[in-house]
Amino acid sequence: MTDIQGLPARRAALQLLDAVLRRGQPLENALNAATKGIDNPADRALAHAIASEALRRLPDLDDLIDGATKQRLPDDSKARMVLRIALVQALILGTPQHAAVATALPLVEGGPRRLVHGVLGTLFRQGAQLRKVPMLLPAVEQRWGEAWGHAMLGAASEVLAEQPAIDLTLRTAESTDDWAEKLGGESLAPGHVRVSRDRAITDLPGFAEGEWWVQNIAASIPARLLGAGDGRTVLDLCAAPGGKTMQLAASGWTVIGVEREAARLDRLRENLLRTGLSADLVVGDVLKWEPKEPVDAILLDAPCSATGIFARHPDVLHRIRPKDIAQLAEIQAQMLKRAAGWLKPDGRIVYATCSLERPEGEDVAAQAKTWGLLVDPIETGDLFGGLQASPEGWLRVLPGQGRDGFFIARFKRA
């Protein structure tokens, strides 16, 4: 059975689902181990696509499966995992039904083959379809509904229904109109262009010359809020993967980028080389490292649950638990408190997280006064696309319009 065409990719997808749902691993971190021995890049990409779409649509897939079985299969049973994989291929990725079945049955060799075959046969004969707008996981829906209300839940579900937009940040904001035309995209703010997904990033005009880099438009806001550097010094804490570092350097700041893991700086170095921008990169733990002298500004893009980027990484919806959120919020508070002491008297600090959880945003920002920080209110003129600051002067970006979820607050020394 091992010589069935495409079977290795399906086995890898099964391993990826197991890694995320049973072991709590990030999907990207599990990819190399799951696809070990698969040399064809297309097969590796297929395994990733199957797993990612299964995670994106899991409640809907399980609804179909449960409607075709007399007894509910355990959530972590191999039969359910294989059924999810087969349905993703047939209902989302356009795989012919016979091929989805043929590559599913070997995955349960020695197990409930008849069950899997029977469920797929029933669903395909019934013309089973997935909802146009996916359901959120019940636990996520409850948490976000309590925090942000019903309208946000609808927007989040719609975000899951399609692949996220590709945003580019330009090295030179003054050339925005020119690059929007060259790239065939649209600009939603100075220094930004949104492009279609039907072309390889590396083939787009300006890539080789380092004229831009990929960065969701919401992720570009924190660095924008520090304005022009005019040669002043800024710390970019937790700098990798580096979009904000390059923004700051392009805006005239003297950048010191700090990252705990040396390996995460490699890609940043490559992008700095490609764009012709410069930054002093330092390997250091923000909770232990400290600068030699006070600085003019700090950007703390703190480690977080990353639930705000669930459109691109749907595995976060399945991995992150309230205890993880609480632990990460505590780390963020420690980092912000520590960084507050590194500012010059007139310095400013921007605290940001790509999280949709209040403990990782509003709750941390509310403590800042005790660490000698005063809110430097974000103004409407600082923003774009209809975004508005909260009464506290903070910014909460909710899903929709191709924007990742973010929390951003700007402070100054008391």
Catalytic residues: 354
List, in order, residues 6 or more apart from 387 with CB less than 8 Å away.
221, 395, 397
| Rounded-to-integer distance, Cα 411 and Cα 226, Å | 10
Closest by alpha carbon to 246, among 19, 96, 229, 262? 229
Give the full edge-to-edge strand order of the sheet including 212-214. 192-195, 166-170, 212-214
Closest by alpha carbon to 378, among 408, 406, 356, 401? 408
Alpha-helical runs (H) found in 126-242: 138-148, 150-160, 176-183, 221-224
How distant, in Å, are the alpha carbons of 118, 242, 244, 281 from that of 251?
Answer: 60, 14, 10, 17
Helix (H), strand (E) at residue 236: strand 233-237
Sign of CA dihedral 351, 187, 199, 85: positive
How distant, in Å, are the alpha carbons of 41, 137, 330 from that of 176?
Answer: 34, 39, 39
Are 201 and 244 spatial neighbours (Cβ–Cβ below 8 Å)? Answer: no
